[in-house]
Amino acid sequence: MLVDLTHATTQWSYGGTLLAVTDAKAIHPDLDNFNGADLFAQGDQHCLVISPAAAGAYLGCLTYDIDLELEVLTSGTPIHGIDKTPDTGVFQTGACTFHDQSATGMIVGDT
C-alpha cells in the first residue's frame, strides 16, 4: 500500500495498492505476500524495492519502477532481482534497501 504524508498538516492519505497477494502468487504459487518495502530515487527515477515472502521468510529482493505522481508501478514486472541466499536452511530475515555506495546498489539484511 502506498500512503502520502502532507507535512504541512501531518495527515496521511491512501495512495493505492502497488502489489497484492495475487502478484506474489504470479511469481511463484508458494509465496504468501510481499514484505519489507522501501522507496528510493536515482535521479528522476523512483523505485520500489520489496521482498517476496513465504512462511515468514523474506526470499530475496525485487525492484520495480514507480510513478509517484500517478501512484502506480510503471511495469508489472521487476526491473532487478536479487535471489535469496543459496545456503540450505538459511533464510534472509531482514529487509532490502538501496544504498548508492554499495557495489550492487542494494543492501540485503540477513540475521
Question: pLDDT in tens for each of the 111 residues of the chain?
Answer: 677 777 788 888 877 888 999 999 998 898 899 988 888 888 888 888 888 888 877 877 888 898 888 888 898 777 777 665 555 555 555 667 666 666 666 656 554
The answer to whether residue 12 sits within a structural domain is: no
Task: Report DSSP state, residue 51.
Answer: E
Decide: 95 and 109 in contact? Cβ < 8 Å: yes
- 10 Å Cβ neighbour count for 68? 13
Q: Burial-class residue 83 by CB neighbours within 10 Å (0-12, 13-18, 19+).
A: exposed
Q: 88: domain range?
A: 19-108
Q: Is residue 10 part of a domain?
A: no
Amino acid at 80: H
Q: Is the pTM of this model over 0.85?
A: no
> Is residue 3 domain-resident?
no
Is residue 11 one of the residues assigned to a domain? no
